[in-house]
Amino acid sequence: MLTRHIFSLQRNNDGKALIAGNCHMKIDRFPTELFHHLFEYFWADEILHSFSNLNDRIDSILKFYSAYRINFQSIRKSTFHLVCKQIRPEQVLSLVISDENDTIGQSELFLSYFQIEQFTNLRSLSLIHMKKESLHRFLQNLSNLKQLDSLSFDSSYRKRIFTDISSTSIENNIPIQINLPKYYPELLPRLKYFSTCYWDELTSIEFRNLRQLRLYSFTFHRVNEILYHAPQLHSLTLLLEYIRGFHQIQSCSSLRKLTLIISSKN
């Protein structure tokens, strides 16, 4: 006869994990698979903070867990160092790195610990608000990550360019020439999700597997060129300052969702 055990995960005042409710098992007797299931609901820093140093068995489970999701956005520097010291690159499936105002210089600090090509099982990578130099240091080695199928990146430089020149260029039909980091054809065709403010070189890439695309875009003509090379695209999000020319966008038989986000400087 099976006994049904109902439990909930809580934390004590120190942030350590507690199991509460109608449960007749101690936490250290839980099967490893149950821990793995619980970990799916937590970021890596939450897992380490809640479960580390409870006992040797759980520490061993943490050491060999291979599906960590790391989000360094708005994280404390002490927590950043803790995660970098306790988790090995091959254990990480998802990674978010941010150089926003509250974590300025995080990308360089990250690269003092690791090289991005060490994350051999990485499936999703988000690079937020990076300078061109830092962004390029990541991008130039992404083609070595064979499991990667979700990529998102932007640059503080590109966002400034977008704000400063887009209105003038659109109204006067001035072509825009900006030196961009190179994209690697061996990486981009593998992606299922892609978000970027760099669209200039995308028009020549074959996105055979792409399902979701998010772009900062100047012209719908460029969008049409990308749609032509993305036959499996289901969702398209465009962040624009002007909506004029929308009627020029071509139909895409695979597209199920189109989102337009209009950002005005006024």
Q: What is the 3-state secondary structure (H, E, C) of 60-78?
A: HHHHHCCCEEEECCCCCHH
Average pLDDT of the chain, as a whole number = 79
Mean pLDDT of 18-42: 76
Which residue has better confidence, 204 or 156? 204
Q: Say whether both 102 and 208 belong to one domain.
A: no
Q: The tokens of 111 are what? A: 């690269």
My answer on whether 135 and 32 are in the same domain is no
Q: Say what the pTM is.
A: 0.80
Supply the range of the domain harboring residue 37: 1-64
Q: How far is CA 248 from CA 18, 20, 224, in A?
A: 57, 58, 8
Q: Does 19 have pLDDT greater than 60?
A: no
Domain identity same for 144 and 164 = no
pLDDT in tens, 40-55: 999 999 999 999 998 9
Q: What is the pLDDT of residues 212-231, one digit of tens each?
A: 999 876 667 778 888 888 99
92-109 average pLDDT score: 95
For the chain, state the CA radius of gyration: 22
Same-domain pairing of 163 and 174: yes
Domain match, 138 and 170 both? no
For the chain, the domain total comes to 3
* Last residue of one domain, picked from the residues 123, 148, 173: 148
- Annotate 102-148 with DSSP letters as a single string: GGTTHHHHHHHH--GGG-TT--EEEEEEE-HHHHHHHHTTGGG-TT-
Report the percent of the chain where pLDDT is more than 70.
Answer: 72
Residues 5, 84 within the same domain:
no
- Confidence (pLDDT) at 24: 41
Query: For residue 121, what pLDDT is reported?
Result: 98
Render pLDDT for 122-148 as a digit per residue (tens, 0 to 9).
999 999 998 888 888 898 889 889 999
Q: Are residues 253 and 210 in the same domain?
A: yes
Instruction: Please state, in angstroms and as integers, the Cα–Cα distance from residue 258 to each residue in 94, 235, 238, following that order.
Output: 26, 6, 8
**pLDDT confidence tier of residue 21, bands split at 50, 70 and 90:** very low
